Homo-oligomer: A and B are copies of this chain.
Amino acid sequence: MGQTHVPVVSVEQEQALGPMVIVCEHASNHIPPEWGGLGLTADERRSHIAWDPGALGLARGLARRLSAPLVHANVSRLVYDLNRPPHAPGAMAAKSEVYRIPGNEELSPEVRLSRTEAVYLPFHDALRALIARRCATGPLPVIVTVHSFTPMWFGTPRRVEFGVIHDADDRLARAVVAEAEARTGLSVGLNEPYSAADGVAHTLRLQATPCGLLNVMLEIRNDLITTPQAEEAMADLLAPVLKAALARVENGMGEN
């Protein structure tokens, strides 16, 4: 907060040599002053509707342990949700769970265009450039997006602790589920608490699927990663899961 000209996207460990690329679209709840606060209270700006709490810390922990580059956003999903295409109502949501987003109601085409140009294009161009460079020189990168979800949704508690979501290619996601069940005590769900059919896998669809890259979207229940210590502990738990899952797919054990 306070900084006016935060870049929309940051790339950390760009030269790291591991096979994975970690992506965190909902890393930040920062609303740059030019978007006027969107009419939210301070509590709303700190809540899960503005970002995925804990996701950036976990993503950084995974990136360090896996020697992976990390591409993350520095702007709230309520300005532009980078995991949605520009025509999706959820790209600039006027409502999220039980909350109204006054600054997103009845947006003009001009505002939708300016947010698409200011946030969506630079983020996905930077991510694509990093992925394309690795594709050009090899080996092919593996795309892992890191998210968190709220434990209560419309007043109902969610049982699942670790959701694993895939786009068209489900190989890595199924291997992650198998390894997480074998190696952790987490309650794991494939395509929970939602799936690509709900329109939540745009980054995988845009960045991984067109080039045939292995991919998975990780969803951690955010009450499990509320402190830096908890984020690190979760990274300790999940980094070996990801490594083993990738080895499983590369050895053909992930085939149906």
**A interface list, Cβ under 8 A from B:** 85-87, 109-110, 112-113, 115-117, 120-121, 124-125, 128-129, 132-133, 135-138, 140, 202, 205-206, 209-212
Contact = CB atoms under 8 A, between A and B. Distances in A.
19 contacts: A85-B135, A85-B210, A85-B212, A86-B136, A87-B136, A87-B138, A109-B136, A109-B137, A109-B138, A113-B133, A115-B136, A117-B133, A121-B125, A202-B210, A205-B209, A205-B210, A209-B209, A209-B210, A210-B210
A235 to B, nearest CB: 29
Contacts of A125: 121, 125, 128
A86 B130 CA distance: 12
Nearest to A204: B210
A15 B85 CA distance: 21
Contacts of A109: 136-138
Nearest to A117: B133
A138 B135 CA distance: 32
Contacts of A211: 85-87, 206
Contacts of A112: 136-137
Contacts of A132: 85-86, 116-117, 120-121
Nearest to A139: B87
Given A85-B132, A85-B212, 10 more contacts: A87-B136, A87-B138, A109-B138, A116-B132, A117-B132, A121-B125, A121-B128, A125-B125, A202-B210, A209-B210
Contacts of A113: 133, 136-137
A166 to B, nearest CB: 15
A110 B206 CA distance: 25
Nearest to A202: B210
Nearest to A205: B210
Contacts of A205: 209-210
Given A120-B132, A133-B116, A140 B87 contact: yes
Nearest to A109: B137
Contacts of A116: 132-133, 135-136
A224 B210 CA distance: 32
Most B CB within 10 A of own CB, among A109, A115, A116, A138: A116
Contacts of A85: 132, 135, 210-212
A135 B125 CA distance: 16
